[in-house]
A and B are shown apart, each in its own frame.
Chain A
């Protein structure tokens, strides 16, 4: 079993749909992250949770809403997305802060019709 599990692996949705991405980590880490990866662009950090508290929100549009009910689970709720939101969404976890290596899930490939 991988340390960080993301579901679903692929998601196709219309602009008016509501869906959620799920991430679960089995590593006992206290920090979790959501990233967006668009083609040929650097990873963009979207949200950071440390001990369930959100510590970073890098000006992400409100149509993306994170939820961290405990230190092992992280959700990204999606609502009224735009075509430019089509990307690979990666979840990661680490023990501590950005100085510790992050462990990534395999991502959710999101396509907005």
Chain B
């Protein structure tokens, strides 16, 4: 049972338009969410994160929105650029006792068309 789901395996967006990547989760104990980006033959790189006490976090062209009641978060990229073509992973974490759980989604491949 996947606790973090990225239901779209791929997404194609025109350059200059907005890209919206979605992520759903089932565990209400998650209190921190992160987005990573991965190019082929490279490891994932951290993009942006959000705490569960917030509903929005913005960093340049990237904005993450969190809807706790719907257990849904989204990553907005605007304007989309060719270099944004990559696989995007959503991850969620919570602490239990002295340990923490970090659960990843399966990723969404974003393709930016020129």
Determine if B43 and A99 form an interchain contact, defined as CB atoms under 8 angstroms apart. no
Size of the A side of the interface (Cβ < 8 Å), in residues, is 21
Say which residue of A90, A97, A101 sits within 8 Å of B100 (CB atoms): A97
Q: Which B-chain residue is minimally distant from A40 (CB atoms)?
A: B106
Given contacts A41-B106, A42-B106, A43-B104, contact A101 B9 (CB under 8 A): no
Distance between Cα atoms of A4 and B102 in the complex (Å): 20
Most chain B beta-carbon contacts within 10 A, residue among A41, A43, A90, A102: A43
CA A105 to CA B4, docked complex, whole Å: 23
In this complex, how many residues of chain B approach chain A with their Cβ under 8 Å: the count is 26
- Tell me whether B89 and A92 are in contact (CB under 8 A): no
Interface of B is mostly: strand
Interface centre among B32, B49, B100 (most CB of A within 10 A): B100
Q: Nearest Cβ in chain B — how far from A11, in angstroms?
A: 15
Which interface residue of B43, B95, B99 has the most chain A CB atoms within 10 A?
B43
**Are A92 and B43 touching (Cβ within 8 A)?**
yes
Contacts of A42 in B (CB 8 A): 2, 4, 89, 103-107
A106 in contact (CB, < 8 A): yes
Bound-complex Cα distance A99 to B44 (A):
16
Bound form: Cα–Cα A45–B44 in Å? 14
Q: Do A101 and B46 touch across chains, with their CB atoms under 8 A apart?
A: yes
Residues of B in contact with A (beta carbons under 8 Å apart): 2, 4, 9, 32, 34, 41-46, 49, 89, 91, 93, 95, 98-107
Could you jot down 15 A-B contacts, CB within 8 Å?
A: A42-B89, A42-B105, A43-B89, A45-B102, A56-B99, A90-B43, A90-B44, A99-B93, A99-B100, A101-B46, A104-B43, A104-B44, A104-B45, A106-B42, A106-B43
